[in-house]
Amino acid sequence: MKLQILKSILLSSFVLVTLTAHSQAGSKKATAKKVAVNTAESRVNWLGKKPGGEHDGYVKLTDGTIQLAGNEIAGGSFVIDMNSIVNLDLKDENMNQRLVGHLKSSDFFDVEKYPTASFVITKVSRLKSTTNATLKVTHRIEGDLTIKGITKSIVFDAHVSNAEGKVVASTESFVINRTLWNVNYQSKSIFAELKDQFINDDITLSVKLASN
């Protein structure tokens, strides 16, 4: 009899815990919402280097959403317009257009075939606030970056704020290896005979996302 009573108590406790967990999960799901990215205020900055020089600029976003759970960023995604590549350092317009045209060509991002790139957030972790050289980091963001139809996981740190319903996320500068996305033009790791006529595999990126 005592054993039967104990089993009944344990079963009741299990049911109660399960129902509570489902209730909490449902509550979190109910409070989650999506806000649209303000594409006019959001962009991806880029920096590429080679021996004796470098170029920098940005690309714009065409669409995006940020998922919130309460006041915390919980997920999101955005689409990058690869036709919007801008160079900032070359002041000669002809040289500037030549560089941008080359970046859009099949040597680099093959924009005619792959007009967009995308990023999907897969995990967000709140960090103990640490002040770095450029900004106060609050979150670590993991996600899937797709360029030229190839998807790879990346991780970067960011400062995320949510004031009066407007979310702004600004990342620390982070580096990706372009050859992982089949952007191989003048890569020394792909073409060993280039000597000093190569372009660095690493591209430095930083991202600013702002909601409407």
Measured CA to CA, the distance from residue 106 to residue 102 in angstroms comes to 8
Measured CA to CA, the distance from residue 169 to residue 70 in angstroms comes to 16
Band of pLDDT at residue 16, cut at 50, 70 and 90: very low
Measured CA to CA, the distance from residue 41 to residue 46 in angstroms comes to 16
pLDDT digits (tens, 9 = 90+) for 130-155: 655 567 899 999 999 999 999 999 99
Residue 81 near residue 116, CB atoms below 8 Å: yes
Is the backbone of residue 52 left (phi > 0), alpha (psi -120 to 50) or beta?
A: left
Cα distance from N-terminal residue to C-terminal residue, the chain: 64
Measured CA to CA, the distance from residue 2 to residue 110 in angstroms comes to 74
Per-residue pLDDT at 74: 92
Please give the model's pTM, rounded to 2 decimal places: 0.82
Average of per-residue pLDDT across 28-34: 64
Measured CA to CA, the distance from residue 128 to residue 135 in angstroms comes to 13
Q: Which residue has the tokens 């941008």?
A: 100
Percent share of the chain, pLDDT over 70: 82
Measured CA to CA, the distance from residue 71 to residue 166 in angstroms comes to 10
DSSP letter, residue 89: S
pLDDT surpassing 80 at residue 25: no
- Smallest CA-to-CA distance from 65 within 79, 86, 55, 53 is with 79
Radius of gyration over every alpha carbon of the chain, rounded to an integer in angstroms: 23
Residue 37 near residue 65, CB atoms below 8 Å: yes
pLDDT digits (tens, 9 = 90+) for 169-211: 999 899 999 999 999 999 999 998 998 899 999 999 999 999 9
Average of per-residue pLDDT across 12-17: 43
Tokens of 28: 């979190």
pLDDT surpassing 50 at residue 165: yes
